[in-house]
Structure 1
Amino acid sequence: MIILGIIAVIAGLLLKISILTTIGVILVVVGAILAVLGSTGRAVGGRRHYF
C-alpha cells in the first residue's frame, strides 16, 4: 500500500493531476499507520499483518 501510494504521488506530480496526488498521500499515510500497528504486534482487522 505504501509503494502504491508513492507511485500515485509521483505520477500525480509528473502529470499534474491533483486528485491522484491526494489519493497517493492518503495511501501512504494509511499504509504507514497499518505498518506501525502491525509491527507492534497489535492485530489489525483480526490479523497480525495487513499484507
Structure 2
Amino acid sequence: MLGWVVTLLIVALVAGVLGFGGIAGASIEIAKIIFFVAVVLFVISAVVGVSRGRRV
C-alpha cells in the first residue's frame, strides 16, 4: 500500500513539473487517502497483536 503512495507522489511531482495541475492535485489527494488508510490498518494490526499477547 505504501508503494502505491510513493508511486502516486512521483506521478504528482512529474505532472506538476509538466504543468498538469489537475492530475497532480488528484494524485496527491489519492496518495493522502491511501497513506491514512495504511496508517489506520497498521494501528489496528498493532492493537490486535498486543491484545492477543503475541510473542516474537
Q: What is the TM-score of this pair, normalised by structure 1?
A: 0.64
Greater relative CO (CA pairs within 8 A, separation 6+): 2
More helix by proportion, 1 or 2?
Answer: 2
After superposition, the CA RMSD in angstroms is: 1.5
Gaps of 5+ in 1: 43-51
TM-score, L = length of structure 2: 0.60
Structure 1 residue runs of 4+, over 2 Å off?
Answer: none
Q: Which runs of 5+ in 2 are unaligned?
A: 46-56
